[in-house]
Structure 1
Amino acid sequence: MRKWLLLAFAALLVLPAVSKAVNQDSLWMYEHYTKKEVYIPMRDGVRLFTSIYLPKDGTEKHPILMTRTPYSCAPYGEKNFRPWYRNHYINYLKEGYIMVTQDVRGTWMSEGKFVNVRPFNPNKKGKQDIDEASDTYDTIDWLVKNLAGNNGNVGIFGISYPGFYSTMGALSGHPALKAASPQAPVTDWFLGDDFHHNGAFFISDAFSFYTAFDHPHPQPTTVGPKGIEYYTHDNYKYYLETGALPNFSRIIGDSVTFWREMYAHPTYDDWWKARNVRNFVQNVKPAMLLVGGIFDAEDCFGAWNTYKAIEEKSPATNNRIVMGPWYHGQWASNDGTHLGNIRFGSNTAAWYAQHIEIPFFNYYLKGKGQAPDIAEATIFFTGENKWKQLPKWPPANMAPTPVYLQNNDRLSFSKPSDNDSFSEYVSDPAKPVPYTEGVHFNRTINYMTDDQRFAARRPDVAVFESDVLDHDITLAGPVVADIVASTSTTDADFVVKVIDVFPDDFKYEEDAPSEHRRVPSATYPMGGYQMLVRGEIMRGKFRNSFEKPEPFVPNQPANVKFTMPDVAHTFQKGHRIMIQVQSSWFPLADRNPQQFMDIYKATDKDFKKATIRIYHDATHASSVILPVVP
């Protein structure tokens, strides 16, 4: 109690100064800007509602920075301004940018029909051939021709779904679009973002999203859907008792088109591939700045893999990536000092804004300063808490290095020599392994750095731990799980987790700025903490092909190999490396019935227990391939 009273008192000391600064920026914004709301016509006659914030200063020409969003460009009304002052976006106003937000086609105040992750059309011919790239082109064309005082240079940026629209905007080909920054961009909703990871359905994110999104409503409107009332704030209990996936469809109803379409496409078919942005990033013209969070629970996959796709398919593009130690969108917050219990030693969000994003747009849209000193890859390495500017990602000297699962719960860089060695557990869909500890209503933002000791104590989690490290080991790049496993049934999921085990006597020395301290003490005990560095799930039936799933032969060893999102982390001397393997991750991912079937049609009676074996012998060596750099 005393601790929280001290915290509250410290917050009161800081609050007046913060409020005063916010109020001053708010007053400044209203004094120096006007707002204009317009309908911009698209080539097929549909009009998109657009809010435009115009600087009153007429002494110079101004660049345009826009965001296209399905989440509303509220507040509506020309007297009502967005709170640009709440984060670093206020700097764009102080630099004299024309700020534009737009409700995308079929949402909120815009006309037309909304289509989730509307596929890119590379063969547009007539006025009726539209996509998000053409809508961006038409919007930019109208803006540069109709806004007095603009300098003819346009940028586009956005986080999450607006990140997807930023990627689509970069494909528009409009000559005025000079710079684009897709941030945590939705990229591939079957393999890695939001609603599926390697074919496993991320039920809690999908269900909570679509109960309050994409519901038919009269156009135009400023009123969003209401969502549903949950009968408990314990999400583990709610998703477990609701049961099989068809039960969730009955709750949502028939009105959400994309929900029905997801259920109708249970494999990685052409419908999903048309919605994979990476298939269309050839010949990208604007300068690109991909931004994401290493611990982004929604779209960690998107930033890494959109960047890599552009590198491969559009090698002439000025393409850069920034990845910080952040949850979804944390870089646009005012506090990048910590995530959950893990501390970063500085305000990483403020550093990013001032040294990367603002100089990027200032140079390409205003011609301000020299070419920004932004490396090809600017990556924050947790563990050692350092930003590193790299000429290539992954680094050229990265060496894929297998660490092998061993008998007696050990982990070693030497290949196992035992015969007939395996770890065994029973995976029970009635008692799935939770993704984090405790009771939660919503999926947490910090589970990707959470302590894994709760899981290590469970009998249905296989745990392998190294000796104490006698030197630092740095990882930089994708992690590959290469597991040999069997199941007593015909399907199973495999969750592989890479974990940093802190020394028993470890304490965090508090080095965050005083205004960001949550507790006014000098140290934080973290002894024995098992920090999740990277975890990922693989739906076993897709182990050989996402297009053509295959059943397991019961009790017969099979290779399950899959690539996990990139990491940037240093295991420090004195720590240990741990690998955990389990077959559920609930309710992050839906439960596998552990039978080879269309899971979207499974009933509550279809769920079966399975005996899982993870092999670690000379003939069947299981490993996790780590991207080690000197």
Structure 2
Amino acid sequence: MKKYMQFIFLLLMVFSFGQNKPDNTFIKENYTKKEVYIPMRDGVKLFTSIYIPKDISASHKLPFLMQRTCYSVAPYGPDAYRNGLGPNQYLMKDGYIFVYQDVRGRYMSEGVFTNMTPQVAHKTKKDVDESTDTYDTIEWLLKNIPNNNKKVGQYGTSYPGFYTAAGILSDHPALVASSPQAPISDFWNDDFLHNGKFMLGYFRTFPVFGIQKTKPEKEGWYMDTFIKPTSEDGLKFYREMGTLKDGYEKYYKNNFFMTEIMNHPNYDDYWQKRSILPHLKNVKHAVMTVGGWFDAEDLSGPLNIYKTIEKTSPKAKNTIVMGPFSHGAWARETGKAFHNDIYFGDSIATYYQKNLETKFFNHYLKGDTKSDAGIPEAVMFDTGSKEWREFAQYPPKNAQKVSFYLTDGTLKNKAENNFTEYYSDPNKPVLSSDNLKDFNGFTPRNYMSEDQRFAEGRPDVVTFTTDALTEDITFGGELMAKLNIASTSTDADFAVKLIDVYPEDFVPKEKKDGVIYGNYHQMVRSEIMPARFRNSREKPEALVPNQKTAVNFKLQDVMHTFKKGHKIQIQISSTWFPLFAVNPQKFMANPNFATEEDYTKAFIKIFGDSSLEVDVLK
């Protein structure tokens, strides 16, 4: 158990530390560390570590690069130095004043922690949120750290990415560059929920986010509440747990965040005020939002933040970067870049760090903030052709809407008057993976590009596949599932997977031992949608049994070339376990509290005028 908890703690630290090296000699020789409590406008004091280059002077003034985090600014103590500074090793050596801060209620800071702190739209002098805490921190730094050049940048990955996005709203004149990376934008569609559907694969994470500390803490006070794996077969835990209600009552009744999720099944005020998107208006400084196409935690956040700023803030220098990465993997160079079984190239993280991230911060924090950094509007990795592509706008100007209709087991260019039917039993759900060890993970990761052959052919999974392609086709932009369905029951989930089926004779440039790459069914994109929210997230509606009904929803964006000789496939099911909690398939006011007695079997039809609408690059 101790080793497992140490692993979890180290995993959390990755998102706070950025790219770490095992030796902190360089930092000790070149930086002076200060630890301070910075007072906020309401009197709460936030613990802050500041690393100041020793060569700073009146003739060599330097900018600030700041990260605010709920994952600890450890190590604590004026003589205890981090193993890495900043988002990458190049910036660490380029001369910045690095600032790390524990947010309210976390580790050594005062105050009370709340998940996705609601943004206060109309503030009085006493109102506080993450944007005011950012503003107050910047003010203190400018006044109390000598020889700064009066410019501040901020960055962060995952939850620190959200704090970066919220910090944009501080509107402090010294804040000239922000890089939210894998940021949460709206809890309804990031991390714990997808279109309001509870992501059961996150079940082990709740101690981190749902236990308040009672005193200053230098280590994780929640560590002894983690659920210890008891078997290499991680599926065993979820099967024995029972329903979501059973798991909540057994493990998390005293966890405030899990309780909030359980008690708010719809997009009510609790969730609405935790969306940062409505507040991202009139952004005036440079923003580079970063994400990974295989980020199982926060894929929608970077896409939605970029698109929102693009619509609302014409004065912002707005850039998006999307690479072939899992959550935060751009901060760690692995040499040969794989996601799960799939190889994407060499030194991809280094390319990003040197040519995009370092260039972005150096330009705006040390150069002319009024000029452009020379980074394209959108830098997107094509996960099919395995190359970086640059665009002057995103979605690309040359994208054309094309619909692939789901009919008779194939994908066609026109609708047909038929249907495909499957049988869905919540007691025997479709598995989300055949890698049983992965179910013991802290958060899901590999499923985003995993081989989907294990699901094809099940009676509760329907499949639609093209013939082998005669030429390359690139999906580059948004995806919309437009399903027309009918069920014999009153509720259902719809999990839609977009899959690249490799040729039988496919041989990859780089491969992993034991993987059969011929006929590999690589998942490219996927999403789930509860039918109850088809018309309104706020006011769910039951299905009328056997009545044809439209269920339309976005899959997250994609940049993927399906190569000549490959096939495009769509898989649809109504269970996806244990990645997502099982839908009882009976309409309930709060399905989070469904019991096994509520589980209802159903026959479900997908009509031939259903489609996947995609942006195809011409």
> TM-score, normalised to structure 1's length?
0.90
In 2, distance between residues paired with 1:492 and 1:326? 31
Q: In the TM superposition, what is the alpha-carbon distance from 1:261 to its structure 2 partner?
A: 1.8
| Structure 1: 5+ residue stretches without partners | 1-20, 511-516
Does the 8 Å contact 1:48/1:110 carry over to 2?
yes
Q: 1:427 aligns with which of 411, 424, 427?
A: 424
1:445 aligns with 2:436: no
Range with bigger deviation, 389-398 or 437-446: 437-446
CA contact (8 A) 2:113 2:212 kept: no
Give 3-state SS (helix, strand or coil) of 1:405's partner.
strand
1:343-422 alignment runs, 5 A limit: 343-367=343-367, 371-407=372-408, 409-416=409-416, 419=417, 421-422=418-419
- Do residues 50 (structure 1) and 48 (structure 2) align? yes
Return the offset for 1:258. 2.4
Letter in 2 for 1:129: D
Q: Which residue of 2 aligns with 1:13?
A: none
Q: What is the DSSP-based 3-state SS (H/G/I as helix, E as strand, rest coil) of the residue aligned with 1:204? A: helix
Q: Give the superposed CA RMSD.
A: 1.9
Cα-to-partner distance string for 1:455-485 (whole Å, 9 max, x where unaligned): 1132211011101111111011111111111
Q: Paired residues, what number?
A: 588
**Residues of 2 paired with 1:309 and 1:236: CA distance?**
38
| Deviation, structure 1 residue 573 | 0.8
Report the secondary structure of 2:138's partner residue.
Answer: helix
Q: Is the 8 A contact 2:31 2:54 kept in 1?
A: yes
Aligned residue number for residue 221 of structure 1: 217
Of 528, 539, 549, which residue of structure 2 is paired with 1:537?
A: 528
Query: Given that residues 285 and 315 in structure 2 are in contact (C-alpha distance below 8 angstroms), is that contact kept between their aligned partners in structure 1?
Result: no
Equivalent AA in structure 1 for residue 182 of structure 2: A
Three-state SS of the structure 2 residue aligned to 1:175 is coil
Name the structure 1 match of 2:519.
Answer: 528
Contact 1:507/1:525 (<8 A) preserved: no
**C-alpha distance in structure 1 between counterparts of 2:560 and 2:391, whole Å:** 15
In 2, Cα distance between equivalents of 1:547 and 1:88: 38
Partner of 1:588: 579
User: Identity of paired residues, percent?
Assistant: 46
- 2:531 and 2:508 map into 1 onto residues whose CA distance is 39
Residue of structure 1 aligned with 2:547, choices 556, 579, 590: 556
Tell me the alpha carbon deviations over residues 482-528 of structure 1, each in whole angstroms, 9 at most, x when there is no partner: 11111111000001111111110000123xxxxxx877xxx986110
The answer to whether the Cα contact below 8 Å between 1:488 and 1:611 also exists between their aligned partners in 2 is: yes
Q: Distance in 2 between matches of 1:36 and 1:484?
A: 60
Which sits farther off after the overlay, 367-376 or 301-310? 367-376
Q: 2-side partners of 1:40 and 1:596: how far apart?
A: 50
Residue 266 (structure 1) aligned with residue 258 (structure 2) = no
The CA distance in 2 between the partners of 1:501 and 1:254, in whole Å, is 43
Query: 2:585·2:602 contact (CA, 8 Å) conserved in 1?
Result: yes
Normalised TM-score (structure 2): 0.92
- Check whether the contact 2:420–2:607 (CA below 8 A) recurs between aligned residues: yes
Deviation string for 1:182-240 (max 9, x for gaps)? 001011111x10011112111221x2121333312222111311223344443323223
2:97 corresponds in structure 1 to: 98
Contact 1:461–1:580 (Cα < 8 Å) also in 2: yes
Q: Retained in 1: the 8 A contact 2:493–2:575?
A: yes
* SS of residue in 2 equivalent to 1:212: helix
Query: Residue 179 of structure 1 corresponds to which residue in structure 2?
Result: 177
After the TM superposition, which of the residue ranges 272-281 and 221-230 deviates more from structure 2? 221-230
Alpha carbons of structure 1 residues 147 and 518: separation in structure 2 relative to 1, 3 Å: farther
Match status 1:256 vs 2:244:
no
C-alpha distance 395-554 of structure 1, shift in aligned 2 (>3 A):
same
The DSSP-based 3-state class of the residue aligned with 1:589 is coil
Match of 1:571 in 2: 562
Residues of 2 paired with 1:482 and 1:327: CA distance? 27
What is the Cα deviation at residue 88 of structure 1?
Answer: 6.0
Could you tell me which runs of 5 or more consecutive residues in structure 2 were left unpaired when the two chains were aligned: 1-19
* CA offset digits 1:272-313 (Å, max 9, x no partner): 111111110011132100000011000000000111111112
Deviation at 1:107, TM superposition (A): 0.6
Contact persistence 1:66–1:157 (CA under 8 A): yes
3-state secondary structure, aligned to 1:612: strand
1:615 equivalent to 2:607? Answer yes
* CA distance in 2: counterparts of 1:452 and 1:253, whole angstroms: 32
Looking at structure 1, the residues matched to 304 and 193 of structure 2 have their Cα atoms a distance apart, in angstroms, of 15
Determine the structure 1 residue equivalent to 2:288. Answer: 289
